[in-house]
Amino acid sequence: MNLYYSRLAEKQLKKLNSRIQQKIVFELEKFSKGFRVDIKKIHGTSDEFRIRISSFRVQLKKINENIYVTKIGKRENFYLVFY
């Protein structure tokens, strides 16, 4: 399983504290190697998931055999949807 980051996700990750960055990267590496992480499917979508890492969330999208990190953020702002 290959793990790729979108430009937005890379930008959001770089804005975070270095300690939080390390936590997120560590959890994503664990996930890509097949270890258990706190992952759930996002309701209303067929191929999007989220990983919980303390008060942060990482949104993933599965395309074929690849996993794309599309969004990284704090829980308070992560689920906001603007219409």
Domain residue ranges of the chain, discontinuous segments joined by +: 2-76
Residues of the chain with pLDDT under 50: 83
Q: Residue 81's pLDDT is what? A: 66
Q: Residue 57's pLDDT is what? A: 94
Q: Residue 73's pLDDT is what? A: 92
Q: What angle do CA 27, 34, 40 make, to 5 degrees?
A: 65
2-76 CATH pick, 3.55.50.30, 3.30.2310.20, 3.40.50.300, 3.40.640.10: 3.30.2310.20
Q: Residue 65's pLDDT is what? A: 86
Q: Which long-range contacts (CB under 8 A, 24 or more apart) does 19-28 make?
A: 20/56, 23/53, 23/54, 23/56, 24/53, 24/56, 24/58, 24/72, 27/51, 27/53, 27/58, 28/3, 28/58, 28/69
Q: Residue 41's pLDDT is what? A: 93
